[in-house]
Structure 1
Amino acid sequence: MINYRKTEKYIGLVLALAGALLLISLFGHMRFNIEALQFRVAVQINEQGYTEVEVPPLGTIRAHTHKTPLLISLRLENIDLQLIQRLLAGAPEQKEVIRQGKKVLKQVLIVFTIKLLMLALLGGALGIFLSRRGSLKKYVYGSLLGVLLTGALLAATYFTYDVRAFRNPQYSGVLRVAPWMVSLAQETLGKIETLGEKLELVAANLNRLYERLDELQPLQETTTEFKILHISDLHNNPAGMDFAFRVAELFKVDMIIDTGDISDFGTPLETLLLDQLIQLQVPYLFIAGNHDSPAIIDKMNTIPGVTVVNGLVEKNELLFYGVPDPSSAGNSVIPPDLSTIPRIAEQVKEKLNRLPRVDMLLLHNNRMAQALAGRAPVILFGHNHQMKVTKKEGSIMVNAGTSGAAGLRGLQANKVPYSVVLLHLRPDKEGKQRLMAADLISVSNLEQGFTLERKRFDRPEEPAGPPGREQQPASETARR
């Protein structure tokens, strides 16, 4: 009789646990919204403790995050594109989004845990019912047993959970978006313990950036002046795009030239940011960088006012010749091999030799720009995130640095400056537009303000240095 009772007790324990786990696996999911994003979170029994994040149709990233046999799934189910565009366009809303997001996640965690415990309660009773030996006492016993075992399982998951496992993620899905998804896991999910604080820092920095820009006043200008804002390497950073647009509006520029890397990995998802360009009221010339892709180029071609430059383009009586980075023809973000640059530069030189004139040469790679020095009065480029204006072999070499502070990672580190270069052109005696000055605008220390350094080219030429060396134009520096 004793052995029979023990056996019956063990059977009841196993059935209660099985019933609890069965209901959790069948119904252990819920949906929730964080502003424009709708997610589905689910828990299932699994051989090992994994967390997976699914972003259809791009793929799934997963990591071995805990010791218990549970699979925690988070799936992005829907995106409200209109709401996202409004959020990206309004910097003050971003901080509120972060605050609301953290609040929602806390609420979801509490509600989801309660739901799982309730499922365990019913599942424990279900297990007793399936044994066909149920009584009120046994149902209560089974329900409590299901709750206790599930609670212990969830507690063990919580205390063994390690988000740093996402620094070594597994990926499955579309191969060409693998770099973006893996980076998402490594740079964001792998550092989730400080992500909220870092995003708050980004929002606060952007607000202080706007305050500093309001203090920035245009220098003396004339009615015949033609102003071009040179930007580069935005790297999918909405704060950097807002920064560039704010400068363009403040100085009332006549044109914006973007020398590439407007995206980070060239994925279709990143084209959402590009819709902000629709609001521009001035021509926008764009050449693709190594981080861009055919998907980015196709999207840019659909935006009114944007001209994707690949060859000769005439705008406002100026002749621009653009050479996109060769890597933009595919989905690789790797820049061209250094050994191929001389060959590509020679091909560009041959094409330029067949043209009567070129006022500005638009490139992305800084090494390519150096190889083509002397082939145009002004050469605009970026790539290495180092803002600089020099003269070499008769060409004014303008590197805009990184207008997006090297992307979100640069913003979080708060080390890489936002930078743009404002070009001032005026008609010469023959009526042709000539570059007279370049303003290097940089925001690196948001607490102290910005720097503006003016390089002037309307003064007599200084004695040339040794052949092949760069010459520094005369400069005037203002700091706020």
Structure 2
Amino acid sequence: MDGQRDEQHDDGDRDDPVTGDELPRPARSLVGPAGPLRRIGLVVAVLAVALAGAVLGVLAGGQVSTDIGPFRANLSITPARDGGTTVDIPPLGALLLDSHDGPTHLTVRLGALDQGRTEALIDDPASISRASQSAVEDVRSGVMRLGLRTLGAAVLVTLILAGLIFRDVRRTAWAGGLALLVTAGSLGTAAATLRPQAIEEPRYEGLLVNAPAIVGDARRIANDYTKYAEQLQRLVGNVSQLYTTVSALPLLEPTPGTTRVLHVSDMHLNPTGWQLIRTVVEQFGIDVVIDTGDITDWGSEPEASFVASIGLLKKPYVFIRGNHDSGKTAAAVARQPNAIVLNNSTTNVAGLTIAGIGDPRFTPDKNTSPAGSGLTQQVADQVIGVGDQLAATVRNSPRPVNIALVHDPASAGPLAGTCPLVLAGHTHARQVSKLPQAPGQQPTTLMVEGSTGGAGLRGLEGEKPTPLSMSVLYFDQQKMLQAYDTITVGGTGQAQVNLERRLVENPTAGVPASATPTPTPTR
């Protein structure tokens, strides 16, 4: 028996490694090194490890950071069934583009706005066209780096995973090769099915659902803005003529004790407004800048970087919230070293006592409307109510208030007789009037400023862009208004600059008595 068993073993028979019994021939063939089921199992295992490694590699390494124009952006690839691209603009929402097919989805997440690069674009008009061209190259370069990084990550993770599972060089190499083939094929499918025209037909998510209604016809605005941008250099050049124009005005000889205040309002994220503000601050010798709100459009955190230009002015900047400004906006302004945010409070700057209160509403998804028009009774009561609150603060102030600030002119009524001057914005149209007063009350002048930012993108919806406007107010040694200059630039990219000086005949009454229009020459 022993001899027979030894002979059987020599013939290749095997015992069960667990029980010691001899295995039947069918079982021996299945577990043999050349068994077909075993080969299939190995192929399936290698393929599964390659796919798992490729997916894990894409998720772990399929992302890069890059500069796109003035933005810092993060590009990432994720496995997906239908492809496409998402442009994420937190916290406003996202644009969804049907840009390509295949099992890869591209996400472009726009981050913080680089203030230095933004100001460089403003200061050099020619760089605007260069930036638009370089942005395309930025995206192309970023996508190429993203593709190479994704391929490398997919292969590396697969090799590590296969090595840990198989502990066999050959099988590990096969898994790595399959991962490379799968990942490259997916990226190649996306590139082969690329549809650049998808950018013209985006779908919106989040607050950006309102974008088409706010911006209007995007193609028409884009075409118009190109036309306006061609004249931007002429605008900057003519703004520089303002100082010469003012020097030629014979009607006002400011005394050494004159305080110059620049009133701006409703910037609505237009960076061109900062260029104009800086020019006027420097050339008019401004002592204080007063902003009556709507410095942003949506009051979002990414927009907060727009207010960083306040610190560059090196002058006190008094601000109240508009209905497009959030608490985050006010906090971002307050962080500027020269800024003062008023909310039913007073401050003393350059000898002027200023009181102000923010708008009671936060309506970033609404267009502006004329003062008090289209308001429900509840909202109208809120708007007038903040005027009542500020009037009480003005009356209780230990020092007489020279200027009161509200965003909506509809809030100004209760301030009649409490102070000589009320400044407002909101309507995007300049207006000067006297508030109705009771017998024995001091006269109160209401000055409503236009939009220093040309109403932002809204300003491009009409036949002509909304003008950029601001006013320089001159206060005498008794801190009473003696004259003011109205400055109007004929809309985004237009070259006409107009300045009118108006004298106040009786400073204690605040009534405009004369006007001298002085347009600067176009070039």
TM > 0.5 fold call: yes
Provide the residue aligned with 2:297 in structure 1. 264
The CA deviation at 1:230 is: 0.5
| C-alpha distance in 1 between matches for 2:182 and 2:85 | 26
Q: Given the superposition, is the C-alpha separation of residues 426 and 164 from structure 1 closer, same or farther in structure 2, using an over 3 Å criterion?
A: same
| Aligned residue runs from structure 1 range 404-415, under 5 A | 404-410=453-459, 415=465
Are 2:449 and 1:418 aligned?
no
**What do residues 337-395 of structure 1 show as CA deviations (whole Å, max 9, x unaligned)?**
12333333333333434446322111111211245344321110101111222233332
The CA deviation at 1:416 is: 1.2
Superposition RMSD on alpha carbons, in Å?
A: 5.0
TM-score (norm 2): 0.66
| C-alpha distance in 2 between matches for 1:281 and 1:288 | 21
Give 3-state SS (helix, strand or coil) of 1:433's partner.
coil
| C-alpha distance in 2 between matches for 1:51 and 1:201 | 30
The CA deviation at 1:279 is: 2.4
Are 2:306 and 1:273 aligned?
yes
Q: Given the superposition, is the C-alpha separation of residues 359 and 106 from structure 1 closer, same or farther in structure 2, using an over 3 Å criterion?
A: same
The CA deviation at 1:442 is: 0.9
Are 2:205 and 1:162 aligned?
no
2:234–2:495 contact (8 Å) kept in structure 1: no
Indicate the structure (1 or 2) with the bigger Cα radius of gyration. Answer: 2
Are 2:426 and 1:383 aligned?
yes
| C-alpha distance in 1 between matches for 2:313 and 2:133 | 30
Provide the residue aligned with 2:412 in structure 1. 369
1:312–1:320 contact (8 Å) kept in structure 2: yes
Q: Given the superposition, is the C-alpha separation of residues 46 and 145 from structure 1 closer, same or farther in structure 2, using an over 3 Å criterion?
A: closer
Equivalent residue for 2:287, pick from 222, 237, 254 = 254
Unaligned runs of 5+ in 2: 1-42, 155-179, 369-377, 437-442
| C-alpha distance in 2 between matches for 1:63 and 1:269 | 20
Provide the residue aligned with 1:292 in structure 2. 325
The CA deviation at 1:415 is: 0.8
The amino acid of 1:162's aligned partner reads A
| C-alpha distance in 1 between matches for 2:96 and 2:303 | 24
| C-alpha distance in 2 between matches for 1:300 and 1:205 | 31
Provide the residue aligned with 2:445 in structure 1. 396
| C-alpha distance in 1 between matches for 2:190 and 2:312 | 52
The amino acid of 2:497's aligned partner reads F
The amino acid of 1:443's aligned partner reads V
Q: Given the superposition, is the C-alpha separation of residues 273 and 153 from structure 1 closer, same or farther in structure 2, using an over 3 Å criterion?
A: closer
Equivalent residue for 1:222, pick from 253, 257, 261 = 253
1:290–1:334 contact (8 Å) kept in structure 2: no
Provide the residue aligned with 1:438 in structure 2. 484
The amino acid of 1:453's aligned partner reads E
| C-alpha distance in 2 between matches for 1:338 and 1:478 | 38
| C-alpha distance in 1 between matches for 2:97 and 2:202 | 8
The CA deviation at 1:258 is: 0.9
| C-alpha distance in 2 between matches for 1:29 and 1:448 | 44
Are 2:398 and 1:348 aligned?
no
The CA deviation at 1:45 is: 4.4
Equivalent residue for 1:458, pick from 483, 487, 505 = 505
The CA deviation at 1:187 is: 7.3
The CA deviation at 1:311 is: 1.8
1:50–1:63 contact (8 Å) kept in structure 2: yes
1:389–1:397 contact (8 Å) kept in structure 2: yes
2:83–2:190 contact (8 Å) kept in structure 1: no
| C-alpha distance in 2 between matches for 1:345 and 1:144 | 69
Provide the residue aligned with 2:131 in structure 1. 97
| C-alpha distance in 1 between matches for 2:190 and 2:507 | 78
Give 3-state SS (helix, strand or coil) of 1:458's partner.
strand
Unaligned runs of 5+ in 1: 1-10, 121-142, 172-178, 463-470
Q: Given the superposition, is the C-alpha separation of residues 322 and 59 from structure 1 closer, same or farther in structure 2, using an over 3 Å criterion?
A: closer
* Equivalenced residues, count: 437
TM-score (norm 1): 0.71
Provide the residue aligned with 1:213 in structure 2. 239
| C-alpha distance in 1 between matches for 2:337 and 2:213 | 36
The CA deviation at 1:103 is: 3.3
The CA deviation at 1:435 is: 1.2
Provide the residue aligned with 2:357 in structure 1. 323
Give 3-state SS (helix, strand or coil) of 1:455's partner.
strand
| Aligned residue runs from structure 1 range 61-140, under 5 A | 61-63=94-96, 65-66=98-99, 70-76=104-110, 81=114, 83-84=116-117, 87=120, 90-92=123-125, 94-95=127-128, 96-107=130-141
| C-alpha distance in 2 between matches for 1:43 and 1:186 | 31
Q: Given the superposition, is the C-alpha separation of residues 59 and 276 from structure 1 closer, same or farther in structure 2, using an over 3 Å criterion?
A: closer
Percent of pairs with identical residues? 24
The amino acid of 1:452's aligned partner reads L
The CA deviation at 1:405 is: 1.2
The amino acid of 2:383's aligned partner reads I
The CA deviation at 1:316 is: 3.1
2:75–2:143 contact (8 Å) kept in structure 1: no
| C-alpha distance in 1 between matches for 2:187 and 2:416 | 69
| C-alpha distance in 1 between matches for 2:468 and 2:395 | 36
